[in-house]
Amino acid sequence: MTSALQPGRSAPRRAGQAVFIVAALVLVLASFASLDLQWTGLFSSAGLAAMGRFGAEFFPPAREPHFLHALAGAAGETLAMSALGTLLAAAAAALLCVPLARVGGGGAAARVVRWLFNLLRAIPELVWASLLLVSAGLGPMAGTLALALHTSGVLGRLFGEAIENAPPGPALALRLQGVGTVQVLLYATVPQISPQLLSYVLYRWENNIRAATVLGVVGAGGLGQMLAFHLALFQMGRTASVLAAMLVLVLIVDLASYLARRAMTR
Amino acid sequence: MAGPVAPLAAGMRLDLEAVTLRRPGASGGRRPILDGVTLRVAPGEQLAIVGPSGCGKSSLLLAAALAQRPDAGSVRLDGSEAWAAAPRRRQQLRRALFLAPQAPPLPPRQRVVTAVLAGRLPMLGLWRSLSSLIYPDDIAGAQQALAAFGLGERLFDRVDRLSGGERQRVGLARALVAPARLWLIDEPLAALDPVRAVAVLDELCAQARQRGITLVVSLHQAELAQARFGRIVGLRDGAIAFDAAPAALHEGQWRDLYAGDEPPAMPAPAPALPPPIPAMCR
Amino acid sequence: MTLPRAVAGVRAAGGVGAARRDPAWRGRLLWLALAALLLWPALRAAEFTPWTLLDARSLRVSAGYLASFVPPDLRAPFLAEVAQATWRTVAIATSGISLALLLAVPLALLACASLSISRLGGRMAPLPFVLRQAARGTMALLRTVPELVWALLFVRVVGLGPTAGVLAIALTYGGMLGKVYAEILESADGQAARVLLINGATRLQALAYGLLPAARAELGSYTVYRWECAIRSSVVLGFVGAGGLGQRMDESIKALAGGEMATMLMVFVALVAAADRLSAWLRRELP
């Protein structure tokens, strides 16, 4: 946006930039000062040696068959959590977006829906999971619902924008025939934006598999729960295996999502 | 299928009374898009609207289709004042009319069969509409409608695999399955070659006549309008220049209509026409 | 349609045959079956039994839980605690991003091909190429490990408290910022930098005078956006003991103190909204 030479850059603008830089520096310094970080402990020779020892304990990663079996089960749980959570979120977002597609913007219902999406989005998955543990109990159901709630907000906003920006011709023609909002959505708007909607869902699945792996740390099942468990017992070898499984799972889902998106654009 | 023809007087009556449509955000000086247009169309009547580009043909059809509330004047369908009525009544009236815009309003990735059957939505409930997405509701009806315009074989192709002319014909096929009693067709022949254009126009008029549907078509091809329609309305700068049978019109009226625009495709030679001056007919 | 009509229509028609079946039907049925086949084990694996939420006992528990959120806890000492925790969260995020910059800038410069001297004459020489790929790989590794996992590991090493959170944010965001910085620098017009390098300028000079002027706005805007994300991360990291608002929230949830939770959720949403507004304003006003 800016070019290398910009004569006539207004003085107020430059003053504003200077103020911002000063304010940012003040914030940074205040942050470090107020936190009382343990630099010495970390970067002293003793600290570094401790970290080195800690790192070495990860090898070799555990490979006993019964442990690997449990690992596979947990990975399946995590995968299922992420997929179901994303699917539920897509369905919920699609339903809630109907008021947004009404002629004239949808009025009060649309405002409520937008507010709801913002609320769902604002609260991170982990916080949702912690909140839901009371009702849903420990285990992957809390994780699935947490993912579904948060992702509904994200997808709801993305779907809403896609609907608003869709070319209006086909929808207008049907509305002039007196066709209702839902039918107009199904026959005119969604057919135009369906690849976009699907790619949003796939992109959120990629995000959710990462989120799902860590939700277990608060008790929502899957690989995260295994990680927290073995870490608490200082079983570093098993922890390393769990971490490896997490990485592999993320790679698999990323690959699946990429292939799906490639298939769509063919 | 041999059988009786559809009963006449099934068509809608259309009355535009001093309809004025101003440009959005326009201040005093500029001419409105439609300026005091009065037009009465009897049920089952067929008429063509002609005029230079930008004279308001599309806007007239949009006004008749209840797309935009006129700034002045009234639009009456079957005698009911559409904009004074309750929204529910207006929706009822809308379900009985069909507007085919100049650019076919078809989602590119949709299949032709679904695009055509979308015309039936006004009479389908929510559940039928949903199930029709999974398995199309009335394939036979869609095929008949498409065959009328020569596209019977393209039933299951995607809309974006069709040429511009084919897409335009699909848009017209939608009219044949719609539960409408008034057809408002905006420049249906724009993307078609001359031979095909004649055939399509003939088919459209024949279908409308057989079902007794009121037909209002806007055309750029003045000669076709003269040849095929019993009533022609000339529009210029948003106002009606003439409204009569083709036999009652003389050359001077045609010339005045298109004055300043490119010379229209006219059968009679126009010897003393000035060279076409690109004019702003807005 | 009458027979004469059909015959006349042949002039334009493409032939009317018997009504056909939808050829896409079989494919759709197959997909539907596949989806159902995958759905069932997924529901089992995720132990997805939402109806259990609706049985009498569970409803009572949920109702009691929800009821405890109202009224939100607004006593002064608690609000002071929340304010301090909020500041700590912002401080953790800011410190984390600052350290991330220390990591991201050198990695991005290493990875950015626009500053490659060896590439000026054609293909890049092998050693610089390997270095660039190594830088890219490091950043990818830093990004892929979830920050919560980093935080968990650091808590083991340095103990509970903000240090673990700051380090976790520094590593993860260092990878993220580095990758995007490299991309921004590479997508900027490299002509000026190339000319400077050809004329013998050092890489840093080429960067400062050739690339930065054009890329500065985008770099700044992305950094501010990531700072805002870091605030959210910092709250999440608090749940594993990294201090700040998140840790306080975790304590309240475990104590089933609904009123405290309600207050903190509202504060959190307000904090995120304020950061979002500030970041949008900065991105608009500064470049």
pLDDT digits (tens, 9 = 90+) for C172-184: 999 999 989 988 8
| Residue B27, pLDDT score | 63
The tokens of C97 are what? 């991003």
pLDDT of residue C13: 45
Closest CA to B188 of B246, B135, B141, B228: B228
Domain ranges of chain C: 76-285
What residues of chain C lie within 8 A of the CB of B156, using their CB? 20, 22-24
Asked if C158's CB is within 8 angstroms of A38's CB, the reply is: yes
Q: What is the model's pLDDT at position B262? A: 59
CB contact under 8 A, C15 and B153: yes
In chain A, residues with a C-beta closer than 8 Å to the C-beta of C42 are 79-80, 83-84
Burial tier of A194 (Cβ tally within 10 Å: 0-12, 13-18, 19+): middle
Measured CA distances, C109 to C105, C114, C219 (Å): 6, 9, 13
Asked if A133 and A198 count as a contact pair (C-beta separation under 8 A), the reply is no
Edge-to-edge strands, sheet with B80-81: B34-41, B14-21, B72-77, B80-81
CA distances in angstroms from C254 to A132, A141, A218, C69, C75, listed in the order given: 12, 19, 11, 14, 20
Whether the per-residue pLDDT at C222 is higher than 50: the answer is: yes
Q: Do B95 and A172 touch (CB under 8 A)?
A: no
pLDDT tens-digit readout, A178-191? 999 999 999 999 99
Residues linked to residue B17 through DSSP beta bridges, in sequence order: B74
Residue of C nearest to B132 (CA): C22
Better-scored residue on pLDDT, C184 or A265: C184
pLDDT tens profile A209-230: 999 998 988 888 899 999 989 9
Q: State whether B124 and A183 contact (CB < 8 Å).
A: yes
User: Measuring CA to CA, which residue among B46, B35, B27 is closest to residue B208?
Assistant: B46
Beta partners for B16? Answer: B39, B75
Q: How confident is the model at residue A232 (pLDDT cuts 50, 70, 90)?
A: confident
Label residue A261 by pLDDT band (50, 70, 90). confident
What is the pairing mode between strands B239-244 and B232-236? antiparallel
Mean pLDDT, residues B163-188 taken together: 94
User: Each residue of C91-133: pLDDT tens digit?
Assistant: 999 999 999 999 999 898 888 876 777 677 677 777 878 888 8
- Cα–Cα dist B182/B217, whole Å: 11
Q: How confident is the model at residue B120 (pLDDT cuts 50, 70, 90)?
A: very high
Strand partners, B37: B19
Q: Which residues on C lie below 8 Å from A86 (Cβ)? A: none
Q: How far apart are CA C110 and CA C181, in angstroms?
A: 11
Number of neighbouring beta carbons within 10 Å of residue C49: 12
What integer pLDDT is reported at residue C81 of this predicted model? 92
On the question of pLDDT at B267 being above 50, the answer is no
Range of weakest confidence among B44-53, B149-158, C13-22, C31-40: C13-22
Among chain B residues, the shortest Cα distance to A188 is held by B107
Of C1, C11, C12, the CB nearest to B1: C1
What percentage of chain B reaches a pLDDT higher than 70?
87
Average pLDDT, chain A: 88
At residue B274 the predicted structure's pLDDT band, cuts being 50, 70 and 90, is very low
Which chain B residue shows the shortest CA-CA distance from A179?
B122
pLDDT (0 to 100) of residue C19:
61
Pairwise CA distance, residues C136 & C117, whole Å? 18
Residue of A nearest to C154 (CA): A51
% of chain C with per-residue pLDDT over 90? 33
ipTM of the complex: 0.84
Q: By CA distance, what is A166's nearest residue in B?
A: B107
Q: How confident is the model at residue C20 (pLDDT cuts 50, 70, 90)?
A: confident
Residue at token pair 């870490």: A231
Count H helices and E strands in chain A, helices first: 12, 0
CATH fold of C76-285 reads: MetI-like fold (1.10.3720)
Cβ pair B105:A191 closer than 8 A: no
**pTM, whole model, 2 decimals?**
0.84
DSSP collapsed to 3 states, C38-67: HHHHHHHHCCCCHHHHHCHHHHHHHHHHHH
H or E segment and range at residue B186: strand B182-186
Q: What integer is the mean pLDDT of B253-261?
A: 81
pLDDT of residue A5: 52
Q: Look at residue C188 and tell me whether its pLDDT is greater than 90.
A: no
Q: Report the pLDDT averaged over residues A231-244.
A: 89
Residues of chain B in contact with residue A197, where contact means CB-CB under 8 angstroms, are: none
**Within 10 Å of residue A212's Cβ, how many Cβ atoms?**
37
Residue B1 has pLDDT above 50, yes or no: no
Q: Where are the domains of chain A?
A: 65-265
Cα distance between residue C95 and residue C101, in whole Å: 10
Q: Which of A169, A174, A194 sits opposite B121 (nearest CB)?
A: A174
Q: Chain-wide mean pLDDT for chain C?
A: 84
pLDDT band at C30 (very low <50, low <70, confident <90, very high): very high
Identify the band that residue B261 occupies on the pLDDT scale cut at 50, 70 and 90. Answer: low
pLDDT, position B281: 34
**Where does the pLDDT of residue C214 fall: very low under 50, low under 70, confident under 90, or very high at 90 and above?**
confident
Q: What is the pLDDT of residue B88?
A: 92
> Among partner residues B144, B155, B199, which is closest to C1 by beta-carbon distance?
B144
Distance (Å, rounded) from C-alpha A238 to C-alpha C250? Answer: 26
Which residues of chain B are in CATH 3.40.50.300 domains? 10-96+180-282
Would the CB atoms of C236 and A124 count as touching at under 8 Å?
Answer: yes
pLDDT band at B279 (very low <50, low <70, confident <90, very high): very low
The two beta strands, B80-81 and B97-100, are unpaired
Residue C22 Cα distances to B125, C88, C274, angstroms: 22, 62, 54
The residue of A98, A102, A163, A177 whose CB has the most chain B CBs within 10 angstroms, and thus the best one to mutate to test that interface, is A177
Tell me what pLDDT residue C153 has: 85
A195-221: average pLDDT: 91
C-alpha span between B260 and B208 (Å, rounded): 34
Instruction: Give the chain B residue nearest A180 (alpha carbons).
Output: B122
Over the stretch B22-74, which tens digit does the pLDDT of each residue have?
Answer: 887 666 667 788 988 999 999 999 999 999 888 889 999 999 999 989 999 99
In total, chain B counts a number of residues equal to 282
Residue of A177, A186, A188 with shortest CB distance to B94: A177
Name the class of domain A65-265. mainly alpha
Q: How many CB atoms lie within 10 A of CB C105?
A: 15
**Residues of B whose CB is below 8 A from C15:** 147, 152-153
- Mutation site for B-interface testing, chosen from A95, A187, A193 by largest number of B Cβ within 10 Å: A187
pLDDT in tens, A62-108: 888 899 999 999 999 999 999 999 999 999 999 999 999 988 777 89
Interface contact C152-A217, CB threshold 8 A: yes
- Mean pLDDT, to the nearest integer, of B126-134? 92
Nearest CB partner across the interface for C15, out of B2, B136, B152 = B152
Give B10-96+180-282's CATH code, choosing from 3.90.1200.10, 3.90.870.30, 3.40.50.300, 3.40.50.850.
3.40.50.300
> Which pLDDT score is estimated for B263?
53
A264 touches A195 (CB < 8 A): yes
Predicted local distance difference test score (pLDDT) of residue C64 = 87
Which distant-in-sequence residues (6+ apart) come within 8 Å of A206 by Cβ? A253, A254, A257
- What pLDDT is recorded for position B271? 40
Which residues 6+ apart lie within 8 Å of C262 measured at CB? C69, C70, C71, C72, C73
Task: Please provide residue A4's backbone torsions phi and psi, each rounded to the nearest 5 degrees.
Answer: -65, -40
pLDDT at A8 over 70: no
